[in-house]
Amino acid sequence: MSKLGRVLVAMSGGIDSSVAAVMLHEQGYEVVGMTMKTWDYASSGASKKETGCCSLDSINDARNIAVQLGFPHYIIDIREEFGDFVINHFTDEYIAGRTPNPCVLCNTHIKWDALLRRADQLGCDFIATGHYANIREENGRYVISKGLDESKDQSYALWGISQKSLARTIFPLGGLRKTEIRQMAMDRGFTELVNKPESYEICFIPDNDYRSFLKRRVEGLEEQVAGGEFVLEDGTVVGKHEGYPFYTIGQRKGLGIALGFPAYVTRIEKDANRVVLGNYEDLAKNAMTVGKLNMVKYENLIGQPIPSITKVRYNDPGTEAIIEQEGDKMKVHFLRGVHAIAPGQAAVFYEGNDVVGGGWIETNFNSDFNLNVLQ
């Protein structure tokens, strides 16, 4: 039995989770590998070949590493819980006129819960993943912070994990750069891992065509929503669209309409099946409401607004803001307009490199909030 304890490592078959498992094994943990089957590609209807984290190749790659290093490896089938929760939510959000973020939802509600349940069954003290992020204990809280390699940082996707789950989580890669991870794999002879293409698409939409996916999932959807109006901010009707669920805030390409200026989707009016178009400046809003909060660094901020760098999407560098908690919602007041704030996406609040908390964007608007409130 290892003095450091037993750790269940989520292994997707990719380089990051594989190197995480190798590192923990070399550090002296008793490692148990686990690969989660979240989705069955045969049922996606997509034309693209099966790749990514749930393919047979990926499961075999993960198992091979475990065999080489001599630790046990298990496969768990979570397709049912994943499908019921993540895919239904994804579909429902588009039908509600919002833009979902299934990967964040999956981390929060499926992967961590599934891993911890299995960790308990297998007598594991900890769980570990190959995410680029750090975790520490401070003032009785478990705090997530950005990984050293900012270009690969994944803290944005982890804001929803509960304190109870974070208490048992290890991120071995948080202090490394991607180049170092590739070198570690090379040094240990895992050359195939280094050359393996990484997948960035949503696992259940391997061809990245969410519109076709929605049409297959929701019977008769096209007939129900086709023929709605494209309108300008002043209400002028400028054309017909294919149905509001097939558009997202900030979208410019694929609108199928020429207005003589670069047009963007600025708003989706689900009940009227209207898609509002405007110019780039019309996309800018200086405030938003964020709901279903999960607080990470602090238990709550009720009555104490603080400055924060707030991200509204995965690859967003973030914008200075004052965040003000009201019950289970956060009012976010940006110091300047932020473009394409999409309801349904995750918003994450940072203090330096630390994740203060996050939630789901509910509304965006322009406000005349006094930004000198903290002075």
Which pLDDT value is given to residue 375? 54
Which pLDDT value is given to residue 45? 54
Banded model confidence at residue 334, pLDDT cuts 50, 70, 90 = very high
Does residue 130 have a known ligand-binding role? yes
Which contacts of 57-60 are long-range, i.e. CB under 8 A and separated by 24 or more positions? Answer: 57/13, 58/12, 58/13, 58/14, 59/13, 59/35, 60/13
Does residue 295 have a known ligand-binding role? no
Banded model confidence at residue 23, pLDDT cuts 50, 70, 90 = very high
Q: What percent of the chain has pLDDT over 90?
A: 78
Does residue 16 have a known ligand-binding role? yes
Q: What percent of the chain has pLDDT over 70?
A: 95
Identify each DSSP E strand in 15-147 by its residue range.
30-37, 73-77, 126-128, 133-138, 141-146
Distances (CA, A) of 255 to 236, 248, 330: 17, 10, 33
Which pLDDT value is given to residue 47? 46
Per-residue pLDDT of 352-372, as tens digits, reads: 999 999 999 999 999 987 777
Whether 64 contacts 190, CB under 8 Å: no
Banded model confidence at residue 154, pLDDT cuts 50, 70, 90 = very high
d(CA 276, CA 280): 13
Mean pLDDT of 244-252: 96
Which pLDDT value is given to residue 41? 61
Where residue 210 falls (left for φ over 0; alpha for ψ -120 to 50; beta otherwise) is alpha
User: What letter does residue 55 receive in the DSSP assignment?
Assistant: S
Whether 178 contacts 147, CB under 8 Å: no
Does residue 10 have a known ligand-binding role? yes
Mean pLDDT of 117-133: 96
> Going by DSSP bridges, is the β-strand pair 126-128/169-170 parallel, antiparallel, or unpaired?
parallel
> Catalytic residue numbers?
106, 203
d(CA 259, CA 164): 52
Name the helix (H) or strand (E) containing 215.
helix 210-217
Q: Where are the domains of the chain?
A: 6-195, 226-278, 283-365
Per-residue pLDDT of 2-21, as tens digits, reads: 789 999 999 999 999 999 99
According to CATH, the superfamily of the domain at 283-365 is Translation factors (2.40.30.10)
Q: What is the mean pLDDT of the chain?
A: 92
Does residue 13 have a known ligand-binding role? yes
> Going by DSSP bridges, is the β-strand pair 73-77/30-37 parallel, antiparallel, or unpaired?
parallel
Distances (CA, A) of 267 to 346, 356, 369: 17, 29, 22
Per-residue pLDDT of 30-48, as tens digits, reads: 999 999 988 876 655 554 4
Banded model confidence at residue 165, pLDDT cuts 50, 70, 90 = very high
Domain 6-195 listed as CATH 1.10.10.10: no
Q: What is the CATH number of domain 226-278?
A: 2.30.30
Least confident of 106-110, 130-134, 231-235: 106-110
d(CA 161, CA 130): 15
Same fold, 226-278 and 283-365: no
Does residue 36 have a known ligand-binding role? yes
**Of 43, 9, 51, 48, which is closest to residue 26 (Cα–Cα)?**
9
Per-residue pLDDT of 69-102, as tens digits, reads: 999 999 999 998 888 889 999 999 999 999 999 9
**Of 23, 53, 61, 8, which is closest to residue 188 (Cα–Cα)?**
23
Per-residue pLDDT of 187-233, as tens digits, reads: 999 888 888 887 777 888 888 899 999 999 999 999 999 999 999 99
